[in-house]
């Protein structure tokens, strides 16, 4: 049920009656995903590519146009009373990425937490007749839809279970692979506890408001991430649900999202938003991967007051804020003021290049802007071209002395350590 980026709910599309066939559209979609993956230096695993070319995605999106079903976008299939997405059929490129991370082999027993149907059908192709796939969801409407679509697509062997994924399925454990297709704030003990020897968990873990798909393997008494990929997912429901604090700066149009840290002074920040803006050039140029895999995680672990600034397109158009990315740009909130990463601007007349600009508001706006810009330069110098961080997940009671060096994020069940080489 992943989304990258999160797509709004949409009305049902009319069914196509044009010359495009599902087979042609599916081939074109997988060609696009495979070409992009190769360009990024991460070619699709042949078995994953074969599964993508086999499973008819449109059967899991009844009432949607074939063009929409075979576009590389997530499609929201269920919303709550406020119109917010609660279930989706994930973006195919993100599905492919997570299946690559999962490394499913024929004969594996796989547990999927979060049911859209499409991903479970792909898993069924990967495990083959000797393996098994069980998909779990807390919403009876979602499980009913998944069951119907899986049967219609010829994947009746997949078990669909109505349950809270926070607790896994102890009566069917152990599993060789566990994949989580909803955004989770924590790794509950049931998941590693239900892994078979040599098992692997792939889960989109929220870290200070950011989400990374982690491929986790047991290592002694903790988990180690073997890969991490930026992503976005609808949030988990049930016992594992955890809300993100939103601090409004300009009503519903601009706000700060705060997670895994102390709540800032909302009234002081709203006052600061009305104060004059301080601008500071960072000296750091943008790159093609920055919107998803750039400095965000580094800043989240280098700035104690890290948060994310979000803004509507209307707020940006009116000049209320000038964020690098409206869906969540890195920000710093402290001492009643805030700074955030702004959109790149020209580095100067005739330079032919651009650089990120930091914007700040509040009594100590200059200091906050300088801190954020300085951390951007640190990332650019030391980590931009590096191997990326190592993430380890330890039980909540682990003492500091037993943790590796790094930035510690304390959660309900675990202590996550992010270490930058």
- Look-up: residue for tokens 């010829």? 154
At 97, is the secondary structure helix, strand, or coil?
helix
Segment 231-260, tens digit of pLDDT: 989 899 999 999 889 999 999 999 999 999
**Residue reference for tokens 């102390």:** 262
End-to-end CA distance of the chain: 32
Extended strands (E) in 40-165:
75-79, 85-89, 109-113, 132-137, 159-162
Q: How far apart are CA 373 and CA 385, in angstroms?
A: 18
Q: What is the pLDDT along the chain (421 residues), one digit of tens a residue?
A: 444 433 333 444 544 445 589 999 999 999 999 999 999 888 999 999 999 999 999 999 999 999 999 999 999 888 877 677 788 888 999 999 999 999 999 999 999 999 999 999 999 999 999 999 999 999 999 999 999 999 999 999 999 999 999 999 999 999 999 999 999 999 999 999 999 999 999 999 999 999 999 999 999 999 999 999 999 898 999 999 998 899 999 999 999 999 998 899 999 999 999 999 999 999 999 876 544 457 999 999 999 999 999 999 999 999 999 999 878 999 999 999 999 999 999 876 566 689 999 999 999 999 999 999 999 999 999 999 889 999 999 999 999 999 999 999 999 999 999 999 9
Q: Mind telling me the catalytic residues?
A: 90
pLDDT of residue 13: 52
CA-closest candidate to residue 117, choices 94, 97, 144, 84: 144
CA distance 320 to 313: 10
How far is the CA of 402 from the CAs of 187, 380, 416, in angstroms? 19, 30, 13
Report how far residue 217's alpha carbon sits from residue 194's, in angstroms, rounded to the nearest whole number: 12
CB of 395 closer than 8 Å to CB of 191: no
Determine the pLDDT at residue 122: 98
Q: Strand 278-281 vs strand 329-334: parallel, antiparallel, or unpaired? A: unpaired
DSSP characters for 381-410? HHTTTS---EEEEEETT--GGGSPSSEEEE
Q: Residue 136 region, left (φ>0) first, then alpha (ψ -120 to 50), else beta?
A: beta
Considering the entire predicted model, what is its pTM?
0.92
Q: What is the pLDDT of residue 383?
A: 94
Do residues 307 and 209 lie in contact, with contact meaning Cβ atoms separated by under 8 Å?
A: yes
The pLDDT, as a whole number, for residue 86 is 81
In 3D, which of 178, 56, 62, 73 has the Cα closest to residue 125?
Answer: 56
pLDDT tens track for 275-321: 999 999 999 998 765 444 579 999 999 999 999 999 999 999 999 99
Residues 6 or more apart in contact with residue 345 via CB below 8 angstroms? 281, 354, 355, 357
């Amino acid at each position: 049920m992943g989304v990258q980026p999160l797509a709004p709910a949409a009305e049902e599309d009319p069914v196509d009656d044009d010359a495009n066939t599902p087979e042609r559209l599916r081939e074109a979609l997988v060609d696009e995903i495979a070409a992009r993956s190769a360009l990024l230096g991460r070619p699709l695993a042949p078995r994953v590519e074969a599964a993508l070319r086999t499973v008819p995605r449109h059967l899991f999106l009844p009432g949607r146009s074939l063009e929409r079903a075979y576009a590389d976008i997530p499609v929201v299939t269920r919303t709550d009373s406020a119109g917010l997405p609660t279930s989706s059929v994930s973006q195919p490129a993100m599905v492919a990425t997570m299946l690559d991370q999962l490394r499913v082999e024929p004969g594996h027993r796989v547990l999927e937490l979060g049911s859209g149907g499409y991903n479970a059908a792909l898993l069924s192709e990967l495990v083959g007749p000797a393996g098994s796939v069980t998909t779990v969801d807390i919403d009876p409407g979602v499980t009913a839809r998944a069951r119907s679509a899986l049967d219609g697509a010829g994947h009746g062997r997949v078990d669909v279970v109505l349950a809270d994924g926070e607790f896994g399925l102890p009566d069917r454990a152990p599993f060789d692979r566990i994949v989580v297709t909803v955004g989770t704030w924590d790794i509950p003990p049931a998941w590693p506890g239900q892994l078979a020897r040599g098992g692997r968990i792939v889960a989109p873990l929220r870290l200070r408001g950011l989400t990374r798909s982690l491929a986790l393997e047991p290592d002694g008494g903790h988990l180690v991430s073997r890969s991490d990929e930026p992503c976005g997912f609808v949030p988990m429901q049930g016992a594992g649900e955890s809300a993100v604090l939103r601090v409004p700066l300009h009503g519903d149009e601009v706000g700060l999202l705060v997670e895994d840290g102390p709540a800032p002074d909302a009234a002081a920040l709203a006052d600061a938003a009305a104060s004059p803006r301080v601008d500071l050039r960072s000296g750091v140029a943008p790159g093609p991967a920055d919107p998803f895999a750039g400095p965000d995680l580094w800043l989240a672990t280098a700035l104690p007051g890290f948060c994310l600034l979000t803004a509507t397109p209307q707020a940006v158009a009116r000049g209320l804020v000038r964020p690098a990315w409206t869906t969540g740009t890195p920000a710093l909130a402290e001492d009643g003021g805030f700074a955030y990463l702004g959109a790149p601007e020209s580095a100067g007349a005739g330079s032919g290049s651009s650089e990120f600009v930091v914007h700040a508001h509040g009594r100590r706006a200059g200091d906050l802007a300088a801190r954020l810009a300085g951390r951007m330069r640190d990332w650019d110098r030391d980590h931009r071209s590096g191997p990326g961080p190592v993430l380890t997940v330890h039980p909540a009671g682990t003492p500091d002395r037993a943790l590796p060096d790094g930035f510690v994020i304390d959660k309900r069940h675990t202590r996550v350590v992010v270490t930058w080489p």
